[in-house]
Amino acid sequence: MTDISHSQVDLSTGISMHVAEAGAGPAVVFCHGFPELWYSWRHQLPVVAEAGFRAIAPDMRGYGGTDAPPNAEDYTQERICADMVALLDALEIESAVFVGHDWGGAVVWNMAQHHPSRCNAVAGINTPAGRRPPINPLDAMKMDPGRFDYQLYFQDEGVAEAELGGDVRRTMTLMLRTSKPEDRLDVIGMTSGVRDRGGLLVGLPDDAERSIMLTEEDLNTFVSAFEQTGFRGGLNWYRNHGLNWEWGAAVDGRDITQPALMVTAGKDGVLLPSMTEGMEDWIPNLSRGHIEQCGHWTQQEEPEELNRILVDWLKSL
Protein backbone atom coordinates (compact mmCIF):
# COMPACT_ATOMS: atom_id res chain seq x y z
CA MET A 1 0.00 0.00 0.00
CA THR A 2 1.29 3.46 -0.91
CA ASP A 3 2.74 5.35 2.03
CA ILE A 4 1.21 8.64 3.17
CA SER A 5 3.68 11.48 3.75
CA HIS A 6 3.10 14.59 5.83
CA SER A 7 4.30 18.17 5.50
CA GLN A 8 3.61 21.62 6.86
CA VAL A 9 3.02 24.16 4.07
CA ASP A 10 3.10 27.94 4.53
CA LEU A 11 0.36 29.53 2.44
CA SER A 12 0.22 33.02 0.96
CA THR A 13 -3.11 33.43 2.81
CA GLY A 14 -1.08 33.71 6.00
CA ILE A 15 -1.65 30.31 7.56
CA SER A 16 0.42 27.17 7.92
CA MET A 17 -1.39 24.08 6.63
CA HIS A 18 -0.78 20.44 7.52
CA VAL A 19 -0.97 18.30 4.39
CA ALA A 20 -1.06 14.53 3.93
CA GLU A 21 -0.34 13.12 0.49
CA ALA A 22 0.42 9.96 -1.43
CA GLY A 23 1.35 9.07 -4.98
CA ALA A 24 2.35 10.96 -8.10
CA GLY A 25 0.46 12.09 -11.17
CA PRO A 26 -2.50 14.42 -11.73
CA ALA A 27 -3.44 16.11 -8.46
CA VAL A 28 -6.61 15.23 -6.53
CA VAL A 29 -7.29 17.42 -3.48
CA PHE A 30 -9.57 16.04 -0.74
CA CYS A 31 -11.44 18.52 1.49
CA HIS A 32 -12.98 17.25 4.75
CA GLY A 33 -15.90 18.59 6.78
CA PHE A 34 -16.98 18.98 10.42
CA PRO A 35 -15.76 17.71 12.83
CA GLU A 36 -13.08 15.87 10.89
CA LEU A 37 -9.46 15.90 9.72
CA TRP A 38 -7.36 14.89 6.72
CA TYR A 39 -7.54 11.48 8.43
CA SER A 40 -11.15 11.07 7.28
CA TRP A 41 -9.67 10.33 3.82
CA ARG A 42 -7.20 7.69 5.10
CA HIS A 43 -8.98 4.96 3.09
CA GLN A 44 -8.99 7.02 -0.13
CA LEU A 45 -5.45 8.43 -0.34
CA PRO A 46 -3.55 5.15 -0.92
CA VAL A 47 -6.14 3.76 -3.33
CA VAL A 48 -6.31 6.93 -5.43
CA ALA A 49 -2.50 7.12 -5.38
CA GLU A 50 -2.21 3.54 -6.63
CA ALA A 51 -4.63 4.42 -9.42
CA GLY A 52 -2.03 6.88 -10.73
CA PHE A 53 -2.85 10.16 -9.02
CA ARG A 54 -1.25 12.51 -6.51
CA ALA A 55 -3.73 12.37 -3.63
CA ILE A 56 -3.57 15.40 -1.33
CA ALA A 57 -5.60 15.84 1.88
CA PRO A 58 -5.04 18.91 4.05
CA ASP A 59 -6.31 19.59 7.51
CA MET A 60 -8.64 22.42 6.50
CA ARG A 61 -8.42 25.88 8.05
CA GLY A 62 -9.21 25.65 11.77
CA TYR A 63 -8.53 21.92 12.09
CA GLY A 64 -5.77 19.61 13.28
CA GLY A 65 -2.26 20.70 12.35
CA THR A 66 -3.45 23.70 10.31
CA ASP A 67 -3.62 27.17 11.82
CA ALA A 68 -6.92 28.33 13.34
CA PRO A 69 -7.28 32.13 13.11
CA PRO A 70 -9.30 33.62 15.99
CA ASN A 71 -12.23 35.40 14.33
CA ALA A 72 -15.39 33.91 12.85
CA GLU A 73 -15.03 35.97 9.67
CA ASP A 74 -11.67 34.26 9.05
CA TYR A 75 -13.68 31.20 7.96
CA THR A 76 -15.68 32.43 4.97
CA GLN A 77 -15.84 30.22 1.91
CA GLU A 78 -13.96 32.96 0.06
CA ARG A 79 -11.00 32.64 2.44
CA ILE A 80 -11.11 28.86 2.56
CA CYS A 81 -11.13 28.65 -1.25
CA ALA A 82 -8.24 31.12 -1.27
CA ASP A 83 -6.39 28.61 0.94
CA MET A 84 -6.95 25.93 -1.68
CA VAL A 85 -5.61 28.18 -4.45
CA ALA A 86 -2.62 29.06 -2.25
CA LEU A 87 -2.03 25.37 -1.54
CA LEU A 88 -1.87 24.63 -5.28
CA ASP A 89 0.53 27.54 -5.70
CA ALA A 90 2.75 26.35 -2.84
CA LEU A 91 2.87 22.83 -4.28
CA GLU A 92 3.44 24.23 -7.80
CA ILE A 93 0.27 22.60 -9.14
CA GLU A 94 -1.52 24.41 -11.97
CA SER A 95 -4.91 22.81 -11.41
CA ALA A 96 -6.44 19.83 -9.64
CA VAL A 97 -9.50 17.68 -9.23
CA PHE A 98 -11.28 18.67 -6.00
CA VAL A 99 -13.20 16.12 -3.93
CA GLY A 100 -15.16 17.28 -0.87
CA HIS A 101 -17.42 15.90 1.84
CA ASP A 102 -19.76 17.80 4.20
CA TRP A 103 -18.42 21.39 4.45
CA GLY A 104 -15.57 20.30 2.21
CA GLY A 105 -18.23 19.63 -0.42
CA ALA A 106 -19.27 23.28 -0.27
CA VAL A 107 -15.61 24.23 -0.77
CA VAL A 108 -15.14 22.12 -3.88
CA TRP A 109 -18.34 23.28 -5.58
CA ASN A 110 -17.26 26.86 -4.82
CA MET A 111 -13.83 26.14 -6.28
CA ALA A 112 -15.48 24.96 -9.50
CA GLN A 113 -17.49 28.19 -9.77
CA HIS A 114 -15.15 30.84 -8.36
CA HIS A 115 -11.78 29.40 -9.44
CA PRO A 116 -12.59 27.39 -12.58
CA SER A 117 -9.05 27.65 -13.99
CA ARG A 118 -7.66 25.85 -10.91
CA CYS A 119 -10.37 23.17 -10.73
CA ASN A 120 -10.26 20.56 -13.53
CA ALA A 121 -13.10 18.47 -12.17
CA VAL A 122 -15.14 18.31 -8.99
CA ALA A 123 -16.77 15.64 -6.83
CA GLY A 124 -19.24 16.15 -4.00
CA ILE A 125 -19.57 13.34 -1.46
CA ASN A 126 -23.05 13.66 0.16
CA THR A 127 -22.92 17.48 -0.24
CA PRO A 128 -25.05 18.76 -3.12
CA ALA A 129 -24.30 21.78 -5.25
CA GLY A 130 -27.11 24.31 -5.06
CA ARG A 131 -27.95 27.47 -6.92
CA ARG A 132 -27.56 30.66 -4.90
CA PRO A 133 -30.78 31.07 -2.88
CA PRO A 134 -32.87 34.28 -3.08
CA ILE A 135 -32.21 35.17 0.57
CA ASN A 136 -29.43 34.70 3.13
CA PRO A 137 -29.56 30.97 4.07
CA LEU A 138 -29.35 31.86 7.77
CA ASP A 139 -32.57 33.88 7.49
CA ALA A 140 -34.21 30.95 5.70
CA MET A 141 -33.12 28.59 8.48
CA LYS A 142 -34.58 30.88 11.13
CA MET A 143 -37.95 30.77 9.38
CA ASP A 144 -37.98 26.98 9.12
CA PRO A 145 -35.11 25.37 11.06
CA GLY A 146 -36.08 21.71 10.64
CA ARG A 147 -33.06 19.43 10.57
CA PHE A 148 -30.76 22.48 10.27
CA ASP A 149 -31.60 23.69 13.80
CA TYR A 150 -28.14 22.56 14.89
CA GLN A 151 -26.65 25.25 12.64
CA LEU A 152 -28.64 27.91 14.49
CA TYR A 153 -27.38 26.44 17.78
CA PHE A 154 -23.83 26.79 16.42
CA GLN A 155 -24.24 30.55 15.82
CA ASP A 156 -23.63 31.72 19.41
CA GLU A 157 -19.89 31.78 19.87
CA GLY A 158 -18.70 29.75 22.81
CA VAL A 159 -21.88 27.72 23.40
CA ALA A 160 -21.29 24.72 21.15
CA GLU A 161 -17.54 25.01 21.83
CA ALA A 162 -18.22 24.40 25.52
CA GLU A 163 -20.58 21.48 24.92
CA LEU A 164 -18.51 19.63 22.34
CA GLY A 165 -15.19 20.41 24.01
CA GLY A 166 -16.32 19.40 27.51
CA ASP A 167 -15.66 15.72 26.84
CA VAL A 168 -13.99 15.33 23.46
CA ARG A 169 -13.91 11.53 23.56
CA ARG A 170 -17.67 11.39 24.19
CA THR A 171 -18.30 13.95 21.44
CA MET A 172 -16.30 12.12 18.80
CA THR A 173 -17.64 8.71 19.88
CA LEU A 174 -21.22 9.94 19.52
CA MET A 175 -20.78 11.92 16.30
CA LEU A 176 -18.67 9.61 14.14
CA ARG A 177 -21.09 6.70 13.68
CA THR A 178 -22.47 4.63 10.83
CA SER A 179 -26.09 4.19 9.77
CA LYS A 180 -25.86 0.48 10.61
CA PRO A 181 -28.11 -1.00 13.34
CA GLU A 182 -25.01 -2.15 15.27
CA ASP A 183 -24.09 1.48 15.93
CA ARG A 184 -27.57 2.17 17.33
CA LEU A 185 -27.12 5.89 18.10
CA ASP A 186 -27.99 8.35 15.32
CA VAL A 187 -26.74 11.84 16.15
CA ILE A 188 -27.14 12.93 12.52
CA GLY A 189 -30.83 12.12 12.84
CA MET A 190 -31.13 14.39 15.91
CA THR A 191 -30.19 17.71 14.33
CA SER A 192 -33.69 19.21 14.69
CA GLY A 193 -34.80 20.68 18.02
CA VAL A 194 -31.22 21.11 19.24
CA ARG A 195 -31.81 24.54 20.80
CA ASP A 196 -34.91 23.33 22.65
CA ARG A 197 -32.95 20.34 24.01
CA GLY A 198 -30.13 22.65 25.10
CA GLY A 199 -27.40 21.03 23.05
CA LEU A 200 -26.53 18.71 20.19
CA LEU A 201 -25.62 15.73 22.38
CA VAL A 202 -28.05 16.30 25.26
CA GLY A 203 -29.76 13.08 26.32
CA LEU A 204 -27.22 10.80 24.67
CA PRO A 205 -25.21 8.34 26.77
CA ASP A 206 -21.86 9.16 28.34
CA ASP A 207 -20.47 5.67 27.77
CA ALA A 208 -21.33 4.78 24.17
CA GLU A 209 -19.10 2.25 22.46
CA ARG A 210 -17.07 3.48 19.52
CA SER A 211 -18.48 3.04 16.04
CA ILE A 212 -17.88 -0.13 14.06
CA MET A 213 -16.27 2.00 11.33
CA LEU A 214 -13.44 3.13 13.64
CA THR A 215 -10.58 1.25 15.23
CA GLU A 216 -9.40 2.36 18.64
CA GLU A 217 -6.47 4.05 16.90
CA ASP A 218 -8.84 5.88 14.53
CA LEU A 219 -10.93 7.23 17.39
CA ASN A 220 -7.83 8.23 19.35
CA THR A 221 -6.52 10.16 16.33
CA PHE A 222 -9.66 12.29 16.18
CA VAL A 223 -9.87 12.70 19.95
CA SER A 224 -6.27 13.80 20.44
CA ALA A 225 -6.53 16.31 17.58
CA PHE A 226 -9.67 17.98 18.94
CA GLU A 227 -8.40 17.87 22.52
CA GLN A 228 -5.54 20.04 21.28
CA THR A 229 -7.49 22.43 19.04
CA GLY A 230 -11.00 22.49 20.46
CA PHE A 231 -13.93 22.97 18.09
CA ARG A 232 -13.97 26.75 17.58
CA GLY A 233 -12.24 26.70 14.21
CA GLY A 234 -14.64 24.15 12.76
CA LEU A 235 -17.71 25.82 14.26
CA ASN A 236 -16.67 29.16 12.76
CA TRP A 237 -17.34 27.72 9.30
CA TYR A 238 -21.06 27.82 10.21
CA ARG A 239 -20.95 31.50 11.21
CA ASN A 240 -20.53 32.99 7.74
CA HIS A 241 -23.74 32.11 5.88
CA GLY A 242 -24.39 35.78 5.14
CA LEU A 243 -20.88 36.57 3.90
CA ASN A 244 -20.80 33.37 1.85
CA TRP A 245 -24.15 34.25 0.29
CA GLU A 246 -22.91 37.75 -0.61
CA TRP A 247 -19.75 36.30 -2.17
CA GLY A 248 -21.89 33.99 -4.26
CA ALA A 249 -23.48 36.94 -6.05
CA ALA A 250 -20.38 37.23 -8.24
CA VAL A 251 -21.08 33.85 -9.88
CA ASP A 252 -24.87 33.77 -9.57
CA GLY A 253 -26.26 31.96 -12.60
CA ARG A 254 -22.89 30.61 -13.74
CA ASP A 255 -23.01 26.93 -14.68
CA ILE A 256 -20.42 24.43 -13.48
CA THR A 257 -19.05 23.09 -16.76
CA GLN A 258 -16.21 20.90 -15.50
CA PRO A 259 -16.67 17.13 -15.28
CA ALA A 260 -18.48 16.57 -11.99
CA LEU A 261 -19.44 13.66 -9.76
CA MET A 262 -22.21 13.57 -7.16
CA VAL A 263 -22.16 10.65 -4.72
CA THR A 264 -25.27 10.38 -2.54
CA ALA A 265 -25.79 8.25 0.58
CA GLY A 266 -29.22 6.76 1.21
CA LYS A 267 -29.10 6.97 5.01
CA ASP A 268 -27.64 10.46 5.48
CA GLY A 269 -30.19 12.21 7.70
CA VAL A 270 -29.00 15.75 6.93
CA LEU A 271 -27.63 15.78 3.37
CA LEU A 272 -30.51 13.93 1.75
CA PRO A 273 -30.14 12.49 -1.75
CA SER A 274 -33.27 14.44 -2.72
CA MET A 275 -31.29 17.68 -2.25
CA THR A 276 -29.31 16.81 -5.40
CA GLU A 277 -32.35 16.81 -7.70
CA GLY A 278 -31.98 19.25 -10.57
CA MET A 279 -28.19 19.51 -10.45
CA GLU A 280 -28.00 18.33 -14.07
CA ASP A 281 -29.85 21.51 -15.12
CA TRP A 282 -26.75 23.61 -14.49
CA ILE A 283 -23.97 21.02 -14.20
CA PRO A 284 -24.18 19.45 -17.66
CA ASN A 285 -21.21 17.07 -17.24
CA LEU A 286 -22.51 15.46 -14.04
CA SER A 287 -21.98 11.78 -13.25
CA ARG A 288 -23.64 10.11 -10.28
CA GLY A 289 -22.93 7.43 -7.74
CA HIS A 290 -25.21 6.26 -4.94
CA ILE A 291 -24.59 4.11 -1.87
CA GLU A 292 -27.94 3.22 -0.36
CA GLN A 293 -26.85 1.57 2.89
CA CYS A 294 -24.62 4.43 4.01
CA GLY A 295 -24.97 7.34 6.40
CA HIS A 296 -23.21 10.69 6.62
CA TRP A 297 -19.56 9.64 7.00
CA THR A 298 -19.39 7.96 3.60
CA GLN A 299 -15.62 7.81 3.10
CA GLN A 300 -15.25 6.04 6.45
CA GLU A 301 -18.46 3.98 6.54
CA GLU A 302 -18.32 2.55 3.00
CA PRO A 303 -14.74 3.22 1.85
CA GLU A 304 -14.47 0.37 -0.64
CA GLU A 305 -17.66 1.31 -2.47
CA LEU A 306 -16.76 5.00 -2.51
CA ASN A 307 -13.25 4.20 -3.75
CA ARG A 308 -14.68 2.13 -6.58
CA ILE A 309 -17.01 4.95 -7.68
CA LEU A 310 -14.31 7.60 -7.28
CA VAL A 311 -11.48 5.76 -9.07
CA ASP A 312 -13.73 4.76 -11.98
CA TRP A 313 -14.73 8.41 -12.39
CA LEU A 314 -11.17 9.73 -12.04
CA LYS A 315 -9.91 7.30 -14.66
CA SER A 316 -12.69 8.42 -17.02
CA LEU A 317 -11.53 12.06 -16.96
Question: For residue 1, what pLDDT is reported?
Answer: 74
The predicted model scores a pTM of 0.98
Alpha-carbon dihedral sign for residues 19, 162, 195, 143:
negative
Q: DSSP character for 54?
A: E
Rounded to whole angstroms, the Cα distance separating 100 from 66 reads 17
Question: For residue 177, what pLDDT is reported?
Answer: 96
Instruction: Tell me the HSE value of 137 on the side-chain side, using a 13 A CA sphere.
Output: 20
Distances in Å between the Cα of 231 and the Cα atoms of 30, 34, 212, 240, 253 are 21, 9, 24, 16, 34
Rounded to whole angstroms, the Cα distance separating 39 from 20 reads 8
Question: For residue 113, what pLDDT is reported?
Answer: 98
Question: For residue 184, what pLDDT is reported?
Answer: 82
Question: For residue 190, what pLDDT is reported?
Answer: 85
Question: For residue 5, what pLDDT is reported?
Answer: 98
- Give the catalytic positions in this structure: 102, 238, 296
Question: For residue 94, what pLDDT is reported?
Answer: 98
pLDDT tens-digit profile of 241-264? 999 999 999 999 999 999 999 999
Positions in the chain whose pLDDT score sits under 70:
none
